Chain A
């Protein structure tokens, strides 16, 4: 018989996580259908098919995100994070920062607790800020859409990852070198290859490059680990 590696808390987290996530998914999926029933609306086949062609890429991105972010977030954080969204620009960095500050490792029981708390709080705070914003949208629109402030809101990802990169690269410089150099080359080359192309955006490329970066880092780390460059291999 296969040995159960998860403890009772982890088992229950998956049980509750699945129930909550599937129920939430059904609520979210219901929205367009409820609108159809309420307003007697019909699906526009042509637009729908065109749309599916555009969003199909996101199915692949979602598969990759599930494999990449789930181990980082742990079970509770994963179920919450994938329902509440905004993973790479908010939930994952927030959980990583909180684990770092609390001095706990991802993949441990303490890491699971900290990651879940941070993801939950981040979701609650985001929801509340958005509710306030939606209620006061008329008053806030001129401020939020002020051309002087726009560049600040456009640059949230560089601002976030600049600060995070200092912490992680300085602590793990040996395993950072190869993926960082590779990603710099990929993005700079693709920028020049796509210069003037209105359909090109680094936003869409980064979704594909996160798993590539992860695979390269895991592979190179494994090689360095086997060679004993990252500390001794435990038996």
Chain B
């Protein structure tokens, strides 16, 4: 069979894998929705969660699509489509694909595909091995000291957010250009604060549903004039 990085056969294989992972998502969605109803959660809350998640996902998903377009020039469409629809992340796939200048043969293609796969094996299997132990540990902590258990979860979130707060300052030594992420970060933060203020003044509860995605998009759009100004 003649090899082509955009061969219909590769699209077919990737399509089957993505369909399987899609089925997993649908299975867990239906199962958790049913369980939510069983334990007395309001259907309105569950439906709103579906809507919020969908709205929240649009902008990051388009950014992922941009990543696929960028990678497709080197690797064709099927491989980046697979890697960024399931398991992967753009930064990792960029690093892994950067090992070669170009795909010169099918041998290079499968080697890069295997490197990408091997790098993510821990992510694929470790949660299945230790996930239950982690959850048991969390439940045990909750039984022993509920207040500390709640603080522990908050500390996890804050640890992650603090790292990304630092991250936006990670290029400040590059001059004005390095301050673009900082400006975007604060624009998005101000937009979120204004949404909160508007909610308080008007009592329009729907603002709460869209505050985060709207603030995120405002931040992203602000990057365009900031880049023009600072680059």
Contacts and interface: CB of A to CB of B under 8 A. Distances in A.
A203 B90 CA distance: 10
Contacts of A134: 68, 77, 81
Contacts of B17: 24, 27-28, 30-31
Contacts of A155: 180-181, 184, 219-220, 223
Contacts of B178: 191
Nearest to A219: B155
Contacts of A58: 92, 119-120, 122
Size bracket of the B interface: 35 or more
Interface in B85-140: 85-92, 95-96, 98-100, 105-128, 130-132, 134-136, 138-140
A204 B146 contact: no
Size bracket of the A interface: 35 or more
Interface in B165-199: 165-174, 178, 180-182, 184-189, 191-193, 196
Given A151-B223, A162-B188, A28 B124 contact: yes
20 contacts: A16-B28, A21-B125, A29-B117, A31-B82, A38-B1, A78-B131, A79-B128, A80-B24, A110-B36, A113-B46, A118-B56, A126-B57, A126-B60, A141-B69, A151-B223, A157-B167, A160-B60, A179-B162, A182-B166, A225-B148
Contacts, number: 580
B92 A205 contact: no
A55 interface: yes
Is the contact region of chain B dominated by helix, strand, or loop, or is it mixed? helix
Contacts of B184: 155, 158-159, 162
Nearest to A15: B132
A158 B182 contact: yes
B164 to A, nearest CB: 4
Given A22-B125, A52-B115, A191-B178, A122 B89 contact: no
A221 B191 CA distance: 29
B140 A5 contact: yes
A169 B49 contact: no
Given A67-B134, A74-B135, A163-B216, A192 B152 contact: no
A105 B150 contact: yes
B215 A124 contact: no
Given A25-B125, A42-B107, A202-B171, A153 B63 contact: yes
